[in-house]
Amino acid sequence: MAADFEEELRHLDVDTDREDAVRAIVRQVDAEFADRQKAAAALGMARLLNPSQLTAFANGLPPSGPPPSEETMTRAGDRAMALDAEQSLRLKTLYCARYECPAIGPPPRDAVRGGLRN
């Protein structure tokens, strides 16, 4: 995942002098959301798979039966998708509290420039 992020960072047009700060923000937000992400993933899997399919998946095997429809996947993953949106907003909020964001404007005067926790 870290390698994926590093590749993505190169394509996001982040100023090189901000890369370390962006990495720190991402690490912070990942840590904040880790438990909820695991719970949302587990809920989605429980909604999609029966017990024998869960066992196969846990053992690294493909689940038996046809794959679920896109509609079923969307319904099963509603909590995970909502959490992704919340996490993205948190990332944007922390970034924009530190740096000026064109859509939001300059950071507030009381924004903590050295620390990330807001």
Do 94 and 116 meet the contact criterion of CB atoms below 8 Å apart? yes
pLDDT at 106 over 60: no
Q: Look at 4-13, 19-28, 69-78 and tell me which has the smallest mean pLDDT.
A: 4-13
pTM score: 0.70
List pLDDT tens digits, range 42-84.
Answer: 999 999 999 999 999 899 999 898 888 999 999 999 999 999 9
Identity of the residue numbered 55 = T
Query: CA-to-CA distance for 6 and 54, rounded, in angstroms?
Result: 32
Query: CA-to-CA distance for 118 and 113, rounded, in angstroms?
Result: 10
Per-residue pLDDT band for 104 (boundaries 50, 70, 90) equals low
- Which pLDDT value is given to residue 40? 95
Q: Domain ranges for the chain, please list them.
A: 19-118
